[in-house]
Amino acid sequence: MTMPFYVAPEQFMKDKADFARKNIARGRPLVGTVYDRGVLICGENSSRSLHKVSEIYDRIAFAGVGKYNEFDQLRVSGVQAADLRGYQFSREDVDARSLANLYARYMGNVFTHEMKPLEVEILVAEVGPRAGEDQLFHILYDGTVVDEERFTALGGESDAISDRMERAFRAGWPLPEALTASVAALGGGRPIGPGELEVAVLERSNGRRAFRRIVGPEIAALLGRPEEKGAGAEAPAEGTPAEGTPAEATAAEATPAEATPAEQAPADGDEA
């Protein structure tokens, strides 16, 4: 009878943690921070259909980094759990803390009992009724919950991004300043264009549905950058003189010269 291969529990857990951290670090990072009117979530994402940041419930947002199909399944589960709790009890009973605990239990069980852990880190954010009551819960791959008060960074180079945010953070800063600092922290000296960003906010002034996406020209305006022009700019209409071209020259080019009699008559050997 052969003996099963033995691996010490400490080594087994360490290998799974290293595996999860390595694969999460391959993903593009994400930053969540509070500002004067709510919560800002900003991440690198050039896709317009695969979102890393989404709404969970009235005043709650979800963000994830790592393996897309895994954190999207967590997002869907969170929406269903929040909707069910709000239907059974009250909409006010749905909060970020209960969702974070639900996620932590599930991710912890997968990390402990399954062969492969989830290759994701997620953020559950809730905007409070007043400044200073916003909540940011950062849940790691092993189910560890980190309650952040000012900002948090997820994904690759999260420690370096947190250091940059620590130097730039200012309590009560407005949205343009918070977004500019978040983009600078994500880039670390590398320029990131508005088209490469996914930005969303939870704003107290939005009423019951606090979640709002910021896209396109609004991102460029908040960053103080000119709007990026698309490649499909409209060409001038046919016959319209190009900029800097005299109208007389254009008219002359558009009018064919009269053909000479020699040109009008077919040459010998040509078909008439």
String of DSSP letters for 22-87: HHHHTS--EEEEEETTEEEEEEE---SSS-SEEEEETTEEEEEEE-HHHHHHHHHHHHHHHHHHHH
Tell which residue, 130, 136, 64, has the closest CA to residue 100.
136
pLDDT of 245: 43
User: What are the boundaries of each domain within the chain?
Assistant: 17-223
Q: What is the CATH number of domain 17-223?
A: 3.60.20.10
pLDDT of 224: 87
Residue numbers in the chain where pLDDT is lower than 50: 229-272
Q: Are 53 and 63 in contact (CB under 8 A)?
A: yes
Edge-to-edge strands, sheet with 38-44: 151-154, 30-35, 38-44, 197-203, 211-214
What is the pTM assigned to this prediction? 0.80
pLDDT of 3: 60
pLDDT of 123: 97
Question: What letter does residue 270 receive in the DSSP assignment?
Answer: S
Q: Where are the alpha helices (DSSP H) in 114-157?
A: none
pLDDT of 228: 52
Tell which residue, 157, 155, 147, 152, has the closest CA to residue 121.
155
Between CA 52 and CA 191 the distance in angstroms is 20
